[in-house]
Amino acid sequence: MNNLCRYTHHTHILIITRHRFLTSRTAMRNLWTKAGVFGSVSVAFGSMLWSQKSTDSDPVASSCTATDPNPSSPYDLKLVQVLFRHGARTPLKSIPDVMEVQWVPTLLEPPAHTHINYVVTDLHGGPRPSAPVEDSYRRNLLTGGTFPGQLTTVGMQQLYELGTRLRRKYIEETPFLGSTFSPAEVYVRSTNIVRTIESAKCLVAGLFQQKQKEIVNIFTTGAESEILYPNYHGCKLLKLLGSHRWAESSTLPDIAVDLQSIQSALGIAAHQHVDFILIRDDMVARETHGLPCPPVLDTWRDKVEQRAVDMICHVYEPSKRENLQLCVGPLLHTLLTNLDENVQGTSSEPNRKLFLYSAHDTTLIPCLMALGVFDMKWPPYAADITLEMHQHRQTNEAFVKVSYIDQDLLIPGCSGVYCPLQEFKEALSAFSMSSEHYQSLCNSTGGLTEP
């Protein structure tokens, strides 16, 4: 396994341990409880959530809670940005030569409570761009008659539930947002793929309980300029640096031995191209929807999960700054720009309080790596990274608090969970990259230099 991936995993454990210790010192009555991810994801694959619950009105504990309405809190919430993975979907590819399952259209029916009035546009409000990635899915059919990579009813409900969690936090427990959708307050952006667009729609439906005075614009952009996932299509240098690593990730000695063993155990012909990421994708999709898996996978479940993560660590190569820069640099720069504009009062939308970004597991993983908190677990469906910006009431200093699946994180380089904005910007400075710098590097034939 990539050594830095191992390092960030252990660092994450130390961070959370330290945070729990500090929390127990300052709020002895706080209780940490485990819960599965949105209930519908299989326990075997869903990452476990830790949610902090205050068991009484301890004023010290209250002051540490980001959205506590207790007026003794030293912070005022100013801005929230949520980067989230789409919900459960049909697999991108089925495992070849194993028991087929029926991915039938009835699995995709939207629940009535997820309907809202929305339109998909480009970033300037014009017509929706063409979608070559989505078109590639539509060239294939899964057994049962649906397309690969489509958001299912289960996935729609997961995002609706994420919306209701955000509603509790930012509308009901704290009157941060209005109870009705307003484009002046809320900005919604998605990759130009149907499952992420529909996920954004379902989240907004849950957040505002379908209440809207105006149509919801879901903004997106063309494939060549997308920054919400590592863009191998739009960045020549990233393709040069990364494409061979995708190819060689299955040939690494330990991974190759295990892959050969599981192919044999599943009865997959040697000439079939499979890897652990493909196997995991199909396996998790089946289990999430209660569809049968080959029994042999029962004994392989943990190994499949481990090897899929090992592969993605090799692909993103977090020990090399340039790779993560090109994967998520422009996205991180956008998030930081939103923070700066809010602090400086230079935003073109001065009433904006919430940014929603609907994306993918391949977005969250390199972001977690850049933040230094990747926990060596594949992000489950509907996982979210949330950045809150708070202003200290007495000093007016800005602080950033980061959470992953509703669990507060201490970012390496930050002096606390409430991280001073300047510390947070410095923590990400090695990976954040302006769009102009990104484009100039993407079009170059040379590599980048380490700092």
Handedness of CA 355, 359, 360, 366 (dihedral sign): negative
Closest residue by Cα to residue 336 from 399, 424, 402 = 424
C-alpha–C-alpha distance, residues 189 and 221, integer Å: 9
Q: At the top level of CATH, which class does the domain 3-442 belong to?
A: alpha beta
Catalytic residue among 86, 289, 314, 333: 86
**Count of residues making up the chain:** 451
Phi and psi (nearest 5°) for 88?
Answer: -55, 145
* Residues lower than pLDDT 70 in the chain: 1-72, 445-451
Handedness of CA 309, 315, 317, 321 (dihedral sign): negative
Which pLDDT score is estimated for 318? 82
The yes-or-no answer on residue 86 being catalytic is yes
Task: Look up residue 164 and give its two tokens.
Answer: 């209701």
C-alpha–C-alpha distance, residues 163 and 209, integer Å: 9
The yes-or-no answer on residue 361 being catalytic is yes
| Cα–Cα separations (whole angstroms), residue 213 to 175, 180, 241, 285 | 19, 7, 47, 36
Q: What letter does residue 89 receive in the DSSP assignment? A: B
C-alpha–C-alpha distance, residues 41 and 378, integer Å: 13
Look up tokens 């005075």; give the residue: 213
**71-76 contacts, C-beta under 8 A, 24 or more apart:** 74/392, 74/393, 74/394, 75/390, 75/391, 75/392, 75/393, 75/399, 75/418, 76/390, 76/391, 76/393
Look up tokens 């996205």; give the residue: 331
C-alpha–C-alpha distance, residues 412 and 424, integer Å: 9
Contact 261, 268 (CB under 8 A): no
Quote the pTM value.
Answer: 0.86
Q: Where do runs of H (alpha helix) occur along 289-390?
A: 301-316, 321-344, 361-371
Residue 390, SS3?
Answer: strand
DSSP H/E element including 82: strand 75-85
Look up tokens 């509790």; give the residue: 168
Contact 196, 86 (CB under 8 A): yes
- Over residues 100-133, the pLDDT tens digits come to 999 999 999 999 999 999 999 999 999 999 999 9
**333-341 contacts, C-beta under 8 A, 24 or more apart:** 333/432, 333/433, 333/434, 333/435, 334/227, 335/81, 335/83, 335/387, 336/425, 336/428, 336/432, 338/79, 338/81, 339/79, 339/387, 339/389, 339/398, 339/400, 339/421, 339/424, 339/425
**CA quadruple 86, 91, 92, 96: dihedral, nearest 10:** 160
Which pLDDT score is estimated for 211? 97
Q: Compute the radius of gyration of the chain from its Cα atoms.
A: 22
Catalytic residue among 9, 361, 392, 437: 361
Task: Look up residue 200 and give its two tokens.
Answer: 């954004």
Task: Look up residue 96 and give its two tokens.
Answer: 């070849």
C-alpha–C-alpha distance, residues 197 and 358, integer Å: 7
DSSP H/E element including 440: helix 435-442
Contact 158, 38 (CB under 8 A): yes
Q: Per DSSP, what are the bridge partners of residue 389?
A: 79, 400
How many Cβ atoms are within 10 Å of 379's Cβ, its own excluded? 24
- Over residues 33-73, the pLDDT tens digits come to 333 333 333 323 333 333 333 333 333 333 333 444 556 68
